[in-house]
Structure 1
Amino acid sequence: MADPASTLAPENVGKSPSYLGLKGQPLLYAVTFCCSTGFLLFGYDLGFMGGLTTNEKFLNDFGNPQSTFLGFLVSSYEVGATFGALFQYWMADYLGGRKPANMIGLSIVIIGAVIQTSSFSRAQFIVGRIVAGFGLGIVTTVIPIWLAECTVPKSRGRMMAMQLSNLIIGLIISNWLVYGMSFHEGSIQWRFPVGFQIILALSVFGFLPFLPESPRYLASVGKNEAANHALAALRGGWPDDEHIQFEIKEIEYAISVESEEVGGWSDVFRDNGISGFTRVAIAFSANFFQQMSGVNVMSSLGPYVFENSIGMSAHNAMLVSGGLQVYYFLSSLIPWWAVDRVGRRKLFMIGSGGMGACMMFSAIFVGVNKKGTGYAAAAVLYIFQTFFTMGWQSNMWVYPSELLPLKLRLRGGALSVVSQWLFTFTVVMITPVMITNIGYKSYIVFMVFNFATIPVIYFCYPETSQRPLEVVDLLFADRENGRRPSLWEVVKDSTSKEFVANIEEQLKEGARFRYENGDVIAEAKEQVHHLEKNNAV
């Protein structure tokens, strides 16, 4: 049998299907660009309210809210996003794929942005924030999964890192747009930055219909011909090429292994099959630890922190916060190189250790409260962003999509994003109150969470970097005599090159069997279906 990973035969060159005239790596870059623009919207929505928390016109128009209500005004977006992710959890089977779900979410973001932009009362603005957040909760659930299911293992992390760099570009745009508009008169100061969400959402919405659906999703719902077509375009081949057919058979083999996980809404709470609940719990915890690192203190409330915790003027707080986002973007280029070379586990632990140390030094400098220490605290918060981007930015967003089984990937991903938004809301809501009431001790809280994360990762987080998604499924599958491996056993095996090589060979053998006996398998399925139909009668 020929090597299924062999290059495309010369006679097939030029015949393979394409989208927008693109195929292979250029098409993967197009999918990444679309996903990246969606995350640019995500970053923009996280960031623009941070600037408005120190905008006098905005605060006057909404009755100069106190810190508690101001925190809710910002974090109401996260409330909506939490419910949007829950909606995706309940309705995943009815939205018809990754692309339609994204388009529904973007439409809701646009509606929410219109409501916010036209607001003349606190209630209307909060409703708009919740509606837009609901839409973004759907989008942020689906985009990482769509990208992970389209890319190849060796570049999956890098593609996600590119996407997350665009999130930071969204933060940069939001900070400097709010700063620039602050020199204008009237409510246009805040209405234009709020309305800018619509432009970003429309740009993603217009691009989506012309790109391929996830081939793994199509295979999971029995649309094998469409899956072949999409995969051939993404790999730059032809649907009948041997290496395309072989990859499809690998996907089908993994689906058959996880067949006990039927994919219903309640199955994410069961551990039958291939440890579905355990994997959902790990994905949920990854989102929790990312938010409790304190990153959104700076992303959503940067100007507020620099003004009220460190003691800068409102003008300087905006400038330093804007500079922080530029530095944040430059730091985000590090994972482009590191994320697929160093591995998920090491980067998680390096990031948490560095962020914990930065929060410790911030507490010291803010607590001392002498001339110059405030600026030292600001410098440390800059360094914090480097450790975050290296350890938890793109690394965290790709991890649940790699870890979760196919039939539970969207529902489990939705629950993990619920964690993301629930704890983003918690952090953004309590930070103004914490800074007002306990000052420098706020940083100690985040320091403790960062240091506590490290042993959890070491003992409970399997390595998924550069593994085919189907290999990750087989790591959790029952071992000899039907024995279920412990989580620590899975973690150790995931870091063993020899064990992973054996798993990869098992996957190839299973796929090779399906490739060589496809007609027999199809006939057997047809016979089972016929018998079930007769028994039902």
Structure 2
Amino acid sequence: MSTESPSAPESKDATVVQPEPAPDTRSHTGKPPSFAGLRGQNLLYAVTFCSSVGFLLFGYDLGFMGGLTTNTQFLNDFGNPGATFLGFIVASYEVGATFGALFQYLMADYLGGRKPANTMGLVIVIIGAIIQTTSFGIAQLIVGRIISGFGLGIATTVIPIWLAECTVPKSRGRMMAMQLSNLIIGLIISNWLVYGMTTNHTGSVQWRFPISFQVLLAGAVISFLPFLPESPRYLASVGKNEAANYALAALRDGWPDDEKIAYEIKEIEYAIAVESEEVGSWSDVFHDNGISGFTRVAIAFSANFFQQMSGVNVMSSLGPYVFEVSIGMSNHNAMLVSGGLQVYYFLSSLIPWWTVDRVGRRKLFMIGSAGMGTCMMLSAVFVGVNTKGTGYAAAAVLYIFHTFFTLGWQSNMWVYPSELLPLKLRLRGGALAVVSQWLFTFTVVMITPVMIDNIGYKSYIVFMIFNYVTIPIVYFFYPETSQRPLEVVDLLFADREGGRRPAIFEVVKDSVKKEFVRSIEDQLKENARFRYENEDVLAEAKEQVHHLEGAESNV
């Protein structure tokens, strides 16, 4: 990218600090912009709630099959599959989700926005859930799980991006943390629903009803979506400026012609202009394109990889199996302890509501990985000693593991790709990141029963190593994005003075320098102000031309 590119940050000394737009005091007539009668923070909470129900479905789908892996009725109805085949039945969902995320990557331009893509994904989830519920053979069950997974792969790609593009920087992480707490509520519901059906009912209803419950959750999200706004950033990127102004005004509790709304729209348009110089096709996620596109996609992909290889989904998807087979509990106690774990998991997930926007993404990633690695090391020791007392100690350590996971890698990871990726690549790059999420969820869920059967306590050592290796990778390669406007993150990767492209190590160092980040924020405001003022001048000039042309035609 040349030095004349609008993306080249100016030097800190040359930057003139521009004041924020003054609050608009003009009078307005008519009703202010709103959706379902909501605006401002209440509307943001409504978007967060809808996203949260989508992630509640995500958590429910991760958890209910883990409970069924020890359900006698379910196992008998499907021929008592061995550990390897049982792992595949559970993991087939992740196979579908991986292909769903790939579909989103390839077809993102043809789905018409964040809301339509989300709706399509959830409809597919419902179709797959119906096929699973009516299963009378293992082939039909697996096909249904793959189809439902395909739909959820689409939805989990879009939901975090939609939420991130609607929220304000200072509360983006907290909103995502609220959403991820609902994922855990989904795990809780799945564990206790399966437990209740197992202990209080007989016959295939024990497993058919928990599977059918997916339909209720997916249907709830579909019913909410028509009443909520589309992403203003998406609308601006496809030239729907009037709709973008209206949606942003409703989300920010303003009016479409307010200066504060106009400034934010101009900041978005400036970032789009920077990206559009060289970005244009699906293959751009594999190229630099003047915005370090491939580097940013690779970091987002790796964040999903490291989250899964932490071992968290060993417990989310196979909790009862681990407590029964690895630790040695009875089936009944394994179900109870696994259900209790999800309640504890939820309580731990409340911690990021406070920390995620205060501590910063990088520090939380590293703290979480250090804690999880230590917990996995202790679990290996306790399971290896193999006494009743150390078995319960291992269970306690796996509880503590989830505190470190929620602190470092739960909501923090899900918001990070949406903050890191440029607008033009956000959906495609986010889709590839979710491919990583589901691909390695599949890997972990597939191999865990086999690992436990064959190498026992050493299974935990594998996850310990992955957690410890993550720490230096985050330190050297993960830029800080917390509380940064999405457009500021774009400019962190832009050319420096003289057209020099910064290496990722330099970007990471600059991202934690408050003065450097402030200079970029000032540059963004200056360019937004310039666009705003010049657009008014251009509009006046056009109006004068039209007036003169009209006068000449009357002569």
Give the TM-score taking structure 2 as reference length. Answer: 0.93
Task: Give the drift of 1:319.
Answer: 0.1
Task: Give the drift of 1:242.
Answer: 0.4
Q: Which residue of 1 is the match for residue 368 of structure 2?
A: 351
Quickly say closer, same or farther: Cα 1:522–1:266, change in 2 above 3 A.
farther
Pick from 261, 285, 298: which aligns with 1:281? 298
Q: Which residue of 2 is the match for residue 47 of structure 1?
A: 63
Q: Which residue of 1 is the match for residue 545 of structure 2?
A: none
| Structure showing greater Rg | 2
RMSD (Å), alpha carbons: 1.6
Letter in 2 for 1:147: L
Secondary structure, counterpart of 1:258 in structure 2: helix
Quote the Cα distance in structure 2 between the aligned partners of 1:371 and 1:49: 27
- Cα pair 1:81 1:134 within 8 Å, conserved: yes
Q: Which residue of 2 is the match for residue 146 of structure 1?
A: 162
Quote the Cα distance in structure 2 between the aligned partners of 1:235 and 1:511: 18
Quickly say closer, same or farther: Cα 1:2–1:449, change in 2 above 3 A.
closer
Q: Which residue of 1 is the match for residue 388 of structure 2?
A: 371
Pick from 141, 158, 165: which aligns with 1:125? 141
Pick from 460, 467, 479: which aligns with 2:484? 467
Asked if 1:453 is matched to 2:470, the reply is yes
Letter in 1 for 2:168: V
Task: Give the drift of 1:9.
Answer: 3.1
Secondary structure, counterpart of 2:38 in structure 1: coil
- Cα pair 1:263 1:408 within 8 Å, conserved: no
Quickly say closer, same or farther: Cα 1:5–1:490, change in 2 above 3 A.
same
- Cα pair 1:261 1:407 within 8 Å, conserved: no
Secondary structure, counterpart of 2:431 in structure 1: helix
Structure 2 runs not aligned, ≥5 long: 1-16, 542-555
* Superposed CA offset, 1:21-76 (max 9, x none): 00000000000000000000000000000000000000000000000000000000
Letter in 2 for 1:182: T
Q: Which residue of 1 is the match for residue 238 of structure 2?
A: 221
Secondary structure, counterpart of 2:27 in structure 1: helix
* Superposed CA offset, 1:161-205 (max 9, x none): 000000000000000000000020110000000000000000000
Pick from 413, 420, 425: which aligns with 1:396? 413
- Cα pair 2:94 2:438 within 8 Å, conserved: yes
Letter in 2 for 1:287: N
> Which runs of structure 2 are paired with 1:245-264 in the superposition (5 Å)?
245-264=262-281
Task: Give the drift of 1:261.
Answer: 4.0
Q: Which residue of 2 is the match for residue 101 of structure 1?
A: 117
Quote the Cα distance in structure 1 between the aligned partners of 2:81 and 2:253: 56
Quote the Cα distance in structure 2 between the aligned partners of 1:521 and 1:446: 60
Task: Give the drift of 1:522.
Answer: 8.5
Asked if 1:382 is matched to 2:408, the reply is no
Quote the Cα distance in structure 2 between the aligned partners of 1:417 and 1:261: 25
Task: Give the drift of 1:128.
Answer: 0.2
Quote the Cα distance in structure 1 between the aligned partners of 2:106 and 2:190: 32
Quickly say closer, same or farther: Cα 1:133–1:257, change in 2 above 3 A.
same
Quickly say closer, same or farther: Cα 1:261–1:169, change in 2 above 3 A.
farther
Quote the Cα distance in structure 2 between the aligned partners of 1:241 and 1:202: 37
> Which runs of structure 2 are paired with 1:411-426 in the superposition (5 Å)?
411-426=428-443
Secondary structure, counterpart of 2:65 in structure 1: helix
- The worse-fitting range, judged by mean Cα deviation, of 160-169 and 13-22 is 13-22
Asked if 1:174 is matched to 2:198, the reply is no
Quote the Cα distance in structure 2 between the aligned partners of 1:263 and 1:110: 34
Give the TM-score taking structure 1 as reference length. Answer: 0.96
Task: Give the drift of 1:11.
Answer: 3.0
> Which runs of structure 2 are paired with 1:52-131 in the superposition (5 Å)?
52-131=68-147
- Cα pair 1:276 1:405 within 8 Å, conserved: yes
Pick from 407, 420, 436: which aligns with 2:424? 407
Asked if 1:504 is matched to 2:534, the reply is no
- Cα pair 1:351 1:391 within 8 Å, conserved: yes
Q: Which residue of 2 is the match for residue 530 of structure 1?
A: none
Quote the Cα distance in structure 2 between the aligned partners of 1:394 and 1:302: 21
Q: Which residue of 2 is the match for residue 531 of structure 1?
A: none
Letter in 1 for 2:72: E
Task: Give the drift of 1:481.
Answer: 1.1
- Cα pair 1:109 1:136 within 8 Å, conserved: yes
Quickly say closer, same or farther: Cα 1:366–1:8, change in 2 above 3 A.
farther
Quote the Cα distance in structure 1 between the aligned partners of 2:537 and 2:259: 18
Quickly say closer, same or farther: Cα 1:64–1:339, change in 2 above 3 A.
same
* Superposed CA offset, 1:225-259 (max 9, x none): 00000000000100000000000000001111112
Q: Which residue of 2 is the match for residue 527 of structure 1?
A: none
Structure 1 runs not aligned, ≥5 long: 525-537
User: Which runs of 4 or more aligned residues in structure 1 lie more than 4 Å from their structure 2 counterparts after TM superposition?
Assistant: 1-5, 519-524
Asked if 1:481 is matched to 2:522, the reply is no
% of aligned pairs identical? 83
Quote the Cα distance in structure 2 between the aligned partners of 1:60 and 1:522: 74
Task: Give the drift of 1:273.
Answer: 1.5
- Cα pair 1:4 1:242 within 8 Å, conserved: no
Pick from 160, 181, 190: which aligns with 1:165? 181
Letter in 1 for 2:419: E
> Which runs of structure 2 are paired with 1:294-313 in the superposition (5 Å)?
294-313=311-330
Pick from 209, 212, 215: which aligns with 2:226? 209
* Superposed CA offset, 1:137-164 (max 9, x none): 0000000000000000000000000000
The count of residues paired between Structure 1 and Structure 2 equals 525
Q: Which residue of 1 is the match for residue 34 of structure 2?
A: 18
Task: Give the drift of 1:16.
Answer: 1.9
* Superposed CA offset, 1:401-459 (max 9, x none): 00000000000000000000000000000000000000000000000000000000000
Quote the Cα distance in structure 1 between the aligned partners of 2:242 and 2:221: 27
Q: Which residue of 2 is the match for residue 528 of structure 1?
A: none
Secondary structure, counterpart of 1:63 in structure 2: coil
Letter in 1 for 2:259: E
- Cα pair 1:514 1:521 within 8 Å, conserved: no
